[in-house]
Amino acid sequence: MHITDIIHKKRSGKVLSKEEIDFFINGYVDGSIPDYQVSALLMAIWFNGMNAQETTDLTLSMVASGDTVDLSGISGIKVDKHSTGGVADTTTLVAAPLVAACGGRVAKMSGRGLGHTGGTLDKLESIPGLSIEQPMDVFQKFVNTIGVSVIGQTGNLVPADKKLYALRDVTETVDNLSLIAASIMSKKIASGADAIVLDVKTGSGAFMKTVDDSIALAKAMVDIGNLAGRRTVALVTDMNQPLGNAVGNALEVQEAIEILQGGHPGDLRDVIFALSSWMLMVSDLAENEDEAMEKLEKSLSSGAALKVFSEMIKAQGGDPLVCEDTGRLAKAKNLISVKADKNGWITEMENAEIGLSAMLLGAGRQTKEDVIDPAVGLWMKKRLGDEVKAGDELAVFHVNDDKNLEEAVNRFKAAVKIGSSKAEEKKLIYKIVE
């Protein structure tokens, strides 16, 4: 078998066999196939695409390139949840304990953020003392006894994805549905879950900007999961404004705890309940959405979900008292009120710019070496469609270092558009792909 033949075949729009895909992945990982030939194949894939079986074969070949996690030591159906990323997306911190309180088994390995705010791990590490580095046997013990644990990825998971993504990034082949889907799903499958619920974001703060593209990505990932023997469901959800109120690490933990305490009705809570209901259904813990919602409401109102989160924090070395007093989380020195300049309605939010405003304050990373300040960020005070008057508070910035404050405020104010008439209300959940 020769890589030039594989490049020619895909360049001609033909379907690659599993053996050809395995040859390409194995050769790239072991160094026998050079970057320039893989670049040519990636461009051929970008132009001609891959069908569902090719994409699944690519995903599984990437999984086989490194370690895989064996979760057989955990009883029951192990469920994972993944979001394609957004602004103020704090769903995991609430959904995981909610589902665990209903009898679910949430064994989650998460990553760090590179961009406007931290990833789930960065948020958890803003809880004093909490460690996301846990041995696999301890991690499995936590899931068996508490129902949930969230740790960093262990071992050498999917090295093919790391190499391929770096090459895609410099060859303008990132935005291909098959390559995106394989990248995401290879890590989920390697992490060992039996069932996967995906939250595919769409809109100005998402990787996929249009609903049609987001639905296509959701379908591609669901196909991979199901063909790989994992029960997979995807929800396509709106990201045209921050999902929650808090943008920043300790602030997002605070909001998550306050939701678990029964507060903050709204979009974030609604998406959390939608995702959690599917996590229960794919775990065979609820037959339908009504039964799932009833169980979730009970676990929230009884305090059971908050208790599970507190137990997970304590087990992983953190301060469980933050669940009673969020004042124990890191706090910024200065609070800066950002106000509207004119009367009108909020008609649009350039959500990515709002995230970048938080990053400029220190809530996210521009490079992998950057150190996140857990205390900083912003707290939204208005939503899309709200009427505002000049001088009304749009957000409160939580600031420790004012070096980039002026730019952050200017970006934020430019991102929040105020018009003369109320805009049409957007959907929160566009589609469910099973």
Strand-pairing partners, residue 140, are none
Task: Find how far residue 415's CA is from the centre of its chain.
Answer: 22
Marked catalytic residue, from 57, 80, 161, 373: 161
Is 11 a known active-site residue? no
Marked catalytic residue, from 187, 188, 398, 413: 187
Q: For residue 334, give the H/E element and its range.
A: strand 334-339
Exposure of 217 in the CB half-sphere (CA atoms within 13 A) = 29
The stretches of 78-210 forming alpha helices (DSSP H) are 91-101, 120-125, 136-146, 159-170, 177-190
Which residue type, as a one-letter code, is found at position 353?
A: E
Contact 36, 3 (CB under 8 A): no
Query: CA 165, 169, 173, 176: dihedral to nearest 10 degrees?
Result: 60
Give, in order, the Cα–Cα distances in Å from 258 to each of 74, 303, 385.
30, 12, 24
The residues, ordered by sequence, that sit 6+ positions from 110 with a Cβ below 8 Å of its Cβ are 92, 119, 120, 121, 132, 150, 151, 152, 153
Contact 383, 268 (CB under 8 A): no
Marked catalytic residue, from 61, 126, 149, 183: 183
Nearest Cα to Cα of residue 323 among 333, 309, 312, 334? 309
Is 264 a known active-site residue? no
For residue 417, the SS3 value is: strand
b/e per residue, 147-168, with b = 16+ CB within 10 A?
Answer: bbbbbbbeeebbebbbbbeebb
Marked catalytic residue, from 10, 78, 81, 82: 82
Strand-pairing partners, residue 23, are none
Q: What is the DSSP letter of 67?
A: B
Is 168 a known active-site residue? yes
Is 381 a known active-site residue? no
For residue 397, the tally of other CB atoms under 10 A from its CB is 25
Marked catalytic residue, from 78, 105, 108, 168: 168
Characterize the bridge pairing of strands 344-349 and 387-388. antiparallel
Strand-pairing partners, residue 110, are 152
Is 126 a known active-site residue? no
For residue 395, the SS3 value is: strand
The residues, ordered by sequence, that sit 6+ positions from 274 with a Cβ below 8 Å of its Cβ are 235, 237, 429
Q: In what order do the strands lie in the sheet with 387-388?
A: 387-388, 344-349, 416-419
Enumerate the active-site residues.
82, 161, 168, 183, 187
